[in-house]
Chain A
Amino acid sequence: RKEVEQDPGPFNVPEGATVAFNCTYSNSASQSFFWYRQDCRKEPKLLMSVYSSGNEDGRFTAQLNRASQYISLLIRDSKLSDSATYLCVVNMAGTASKLTFGTGTRLQVTL
C-alpha cells in the first residue's frame, strides 16, 4: 500500500462547479498535512495546511479525518485558473524534515 494515495484523475469540471479530492495516508502517527498545487512545468506551491479542526481559505476548504486517515480538499465555484495538479502531502511521524507526496490529482476546469 502506498504511504499517501490519491486518485490521479483527471477531474474535468465546468466553471462554477464544486469539486472534492480525497487522499488517504497509511501511517496513523502522521503529524502534519498539506495540499500543494502544481501547474504544468512549475514548482509545487503550498495551497493550505490541513488542521484537525478543518480550515477554509476563500473557495478552498480542507478537512482531516484522523480516525479514517484521510484528508480532503473542496473547491467551490471552480475557476479556469484552478486547473492544476493538486498534491496531497504528509509529514510522517518521526521524520521531522521529510514530506511524503501523493502522486497528485489532475483538475481541468472548462468553460
Chain B
Amino acid sequence: DTEVTQTPKHLVMGMTNKKSLKCEQHMGHRAMYWYKQKAKKPPELMFVYSYEKLSINESVPSRFSPECPNSSLLNLHLHALQPEDSALYLCASSQTSEQFFGPGTRLTVL
C-alpha cells in the first residue's frame, strides 16, 4: 500500500465551526506533514511530525491544531477559521527525504 489517504475530500465551514481533517498512511513512514496550498502557488509547509512528535511548526496560527494519535494517523483540528484560510490542505508522509502526498482536502471557509 503506497497511498496516503485524506478525508474529507471537500469541506465547507463557517467561521464559528470546529472541524477536523484526517490523514492516514500505512507505509510505515516515520514523518508526516501538513501543507496548505493556495491556487497557482506551491505548497506551504505548516507542520511536521517525526516519530509521532511535533518537530516543526511554521508559525501557524493557533486556530490550526495538529494531532498525531499514532504513527499512521495525522489530524488537523480547525477552529474559528477565516475566509483567507480557504485552500487545499495536503498531507504527506516520508521515510527519507522523498515525500508522498495525499489527495488533499479542499476547504472553503464562509
Interface of A toward B, CB cutoff 8 Å: 31-32, 34, 41-46, 49, 87, 91, 96-99, 101-104
Q: How many residues of B contact A (CB 8 A)?
A: 22
Residue numbers in A under 8 Å from B99 (CB-CB)? 46, 99
Known: A43-B102, A97-B55. 9 other contacts (CB 8 A): A41-B88, A41-B106, A45-B101, A46-B99, A49-B98, A97-B50, A98-B45, A98-B56, A99-B45
Min CB–CB distance B53 → chain A (angstroms) = 12
Most buried by B among A31, A49, A101, A102: A101
Interchain CB contact (< 8 A) of B48 among A31, A91, A98, A103: A98
User: A45–B88 Cα gap in the complex (Å)?
Assistant: 15
How many residue pairs at the A-B interface have CB separations less than 8 Å?
43
Using A49-B98, A103-B41 as known contacts, say yes or no to A43 and B90 having CB atoms under 8 A apart.
yes
Q: Which residue of A lies closest to B41 (CB)?
A: A103
Q: Are A43 and B104 in contact, CB atoms less than 8 angstroms apart?
A: yes
CB distance B42 to A87 under 8 Å? yes
Which B residues are in CB contact (< 8 Å) with A44?
Answer: 43, 90, 101
> B97 touching A96 by the CB < 8 A rule?
yes
Tell me the complex Cα distance, A96–B33, Å. 13
Interface centre among B31, B42, B56, B103 (most CB of A within 10 A): B42
A97 to B88: give the CA distance in the assembly, Å: 21
- Considering residues A34, A41, A44, A49, which has the most beta carbons from chain B within 10 angstroms of its beta carbon? A44
Contacts of B104 in A (CB 8 A): 42-43
List B51-110 residues whose CB lies under 8 Å from chain A. 55-56, 88, 90, 94, 97-104, 106
Q: How far is the CA of A95 from the CA of B37 in the complex (A)?
A: 21
Q: State which of B31, B42, B55, B100 has its C-beta within 8 Å of the C-beta of A101.
A: B42
